[in-house]
Structure 1
Amino acid sequence: MGRQTIANPSWPHKVKTGKIDEIRQCISCNIGCAGHRIGLNRPIRCTVNPDVFYDDFYKKQKVNKKTNVVVIGGGTAGLEAACTASEVGCTTFLIEKEKTLGGLARQISQIPEKTRIAHFPKYLEKRAEKLHDLF
């Protein structure tokens, strides 16, 4: 429950309101929330949540002037950048050379001990599908 709350602070509300597909799931990497910070006095970070403390507050801000954005690469970082740009009001073009999105996360998730990593690119793809200004 703790790591999941770091990955998506509003997940209980999303469950309560039936928005299960909008939950950004913890991938159990233990990089920013546990393993690399315990005893080191470092701030909490999360691999799948770039805005841990404000729960996607930056997505609520909008651009003042219509802007075109081109994102090269449909890995998890490219998908996050493209989705965020579209959510703040930019017309966004995502260019990916492969037939599938998700980049290395898709490949790594094929390792038996790393299957939870697949949750993140799936979440990003669902998020991207709902955006009207993302091409």
Structure 2
Amino acid sequence: MDSVELLDKMPDQSGCKCIPAWLRYLLFAITFILGFTLCSASLGKCSDKTSFYLMFVIGVFAAWFASLFIKSIKLQIKHMTKTTDNIICNITIPICLIVTCVLEAVSPHWYSVIAPYIICFAALIWYSLSLIPGFQQCMKGCFKKCMPCL
């Protein structure tokens, strides 16, 4: 059984039943990476603050809403409050978005926004991993094996 067949056997929880599962996961990955790339490009490349805000906010929302390829909006709202990890991630993402925009407005240096940027995308990645069945538990197991102190 190849990997495409495995993706087709995963539970279909998206709102669109006309797109095969493997294509939905591919579109999710492409949109998430596109959002991450847009945010990364906004960090040091934007000459004015308005273009930074637009690129950063659009990038974060593109990465956040990429998960709509996997689950419908109704299931997403239920999933956001399903576990403590998801609640923390979905509170952290908008807070880091606001902190990043405020730091960009206040600080003249682009590297002052690196910490909230990294925290925001770590939360986005962790939330996105929770949408793929069993993947977040797999990552927790890997972290526990690699770092037994956790």
TM-score interval, smaller chain? under 0.3
Higher strand residue share: 1
Larger Rg: 2
Could you state the TM-score of these two structures normalised by the residue count of structure 2?
Answer: 0.23
Which structure would you say has the larger RCO, counting Cα contacts within 8 Å and 6 or more residues apart?
Answer: 1
Could you state the TM-score of these two structures normalised by the residue count of structure 1?
Answer: 0.25
